[in-house]
Amino acid sequence: MRLDKYLADILNLSRTDAKKIIKQKKVSVNEEISTNTNLIIDEINDIIKVDNIKMEYKKYIYLMLNKPRGYLSATFDKSDHTVIELIPNNFKMKDLSIVGRLDKDTEGLLLLSNDGSFIHNLTSPKKHISKKYYVEYSGTLKENACELVKEGINIDNEYTTLPGLLEPINNNSAYITIYEGKFHQVKKMFEYLNTKVTYLKRVKIGNLELSNLKMGETKELTNEELEKLKG
């Protein structure tokens, strides 16, 4: 990787500004000052310092976002706000992709990464990764709602959901765990059960639970949290 690109990525700078600090002799490579903006470096093994502060390069990043209502699970949209707008600037240079989308009016656990293999493993239909939601609804569930979810529900005569788990909390709220991510799947399942979703929040993906993040807040996943997902 070129030195100026490395600094632009890690410090969230424009390529022009990265070149400026190199020319100002603020950057050292393996303890030697370098003014060569085109210098090819090994971003993993070389020691890069700016103003004598060692830089730590991460090829891949893994983020958790507590998504609020009103934001599209997209990287760009001409008319609506997107979740990328909520991501701290130092991560926006990493070509992030969204790992499993949430509807505009759905809140909760959303993952973002630039690791293609990681994203594939969590989103591939063949993997059947569980997703748990907290649901509030109007109406009264069918008496055999839990059994119907466990057996799988036919949606719009197009597909039958994989066996899931419905855990009623009270007369208007429940947890539901599904193993796919079809368009409006949870809402359609509750419609089939004679109710209408009024609030929806994803609280868990696989073994990873939504941590104590404020609405709209982002954090990097710890190694322990990554292991929970990969496990």
Tokens 């470096």 label which residue?
41
- Whole-number average pLDDT of the chain: 92
30-52: pLDDT as tens digits: 999 999 999 999 988 999 999 99
Residue 94 pLDDT > 70, yes or no?
Answer: no
Model-level pTM?
A: 0.83
Please choose, from the candidates 223, 225, 171, 164, the residue with its C-alpha nearest in 3D space to the C-alpha of residue 195. Answer: 171
Residue 212 and residue 195 share a domain: no
When pLDDT is averaged across residues 148-152 and rounded to a whole number, the result is 97
Contact by Cβ (8 Å): 218, 88? yes
Helix (H) or strand (E) holding 223: helix 223-230
**95 noted as active-site residue:** no
CATH number of the domain encompassing residue 69: 3.30.70.580
Helical axes 223-230 vs 116-123, angle rounded to 10°: 50
What pLDDT score was predicted for residue 8? 86
The Cβ of residue 146 has, within 10 Å, a number of other Cβ atoms equal to: 18
Contact by Cβ (8 Å): 131, 85? no
Tokens 């990787």 label which residue?
1
Residue 218 pLDDT > 70, yes or no?
Answer: yes
When pLDDT is averaged across residues 129-156 and rounded to a whole number, the result is 96
What pLDDT score was predicted for residue 93? 61
Residue 175 and residue 161 share a domain: yes
Residue 107 and residue 46 share a domain: no
Report how many domains make up the chain: 3
When pLDDT is averaged across residues 149-154 and rounded to a whole number, the result is 96
Q: What percent of the chain has a predicted confidence (pLDDT) above 70?
A: 98
Asked which of 8-12, 28-32, 118-122 is least confident by mean pLDDT, the reply is: 8-12
Contact by Cβ (8 Å): 51, 61? no
What pLDDT score was predicted for residue 125? 80
Residue 78 and residue 113 share a domain: yes
Domain holding 90, by residue range, is: 62-125+207-230
Residue 154 and residue 167 share a domain: yes
Residue 85 and residue 44 share a domain: no
Residue 198 and residue 134 share a domain: yes
Strand residues in 11-144 grouped as ranges (E): 27-29, 32-33, 48-50, 53-54, 62-67, 97-99, 107-113, 131-139
Residue 68 and residue 48 share a domain: no
When pLDDT is averaged across residues 142-167 and rounded to a whole number, the result is 95
Among 17, 46, 103, 115, the active-site one is 103
Residue-wise DSSP of 112-157: EES-HHHHHHHH-GGG---EEEEEEEEE---TTHHHHHHH--EETT
CATH number of the domain encompassing residue 178: 3.30.70.1560
Residue 223 and residue 118 share a domain: yes
Residue 221 and residue 119 share a domain: yes
What pLDDT score was predicted for residue 154? 94
What dihedral do alpha carbons 142, 144, 149, 154 form, nearest 10°? -70
Residue 231 pLDDT > 70, yes or no?
Answer: no
What pLDDT score was predicted for residue 56? 83
Contact by Cβ (8 Å): 226, 58? no
What pLDDT score was predicted for residue 127? 87
Binned at pLDDT 50, 70 and 90, residue 59 comes out as: confident
When pLDDT is averaged across residues 175-199 and rounded to a whole number, the result is 95
Residue 218 and residue 113 share a domain: yes
| φ/ψ of residue 145, rounded to 5 | -60, -45
Residue 186 and residue 212 share a domain: no
CATH number of the domain encompassing residue 32: 3.10.290.10
Domain boundary among 38, 54, 70: 54
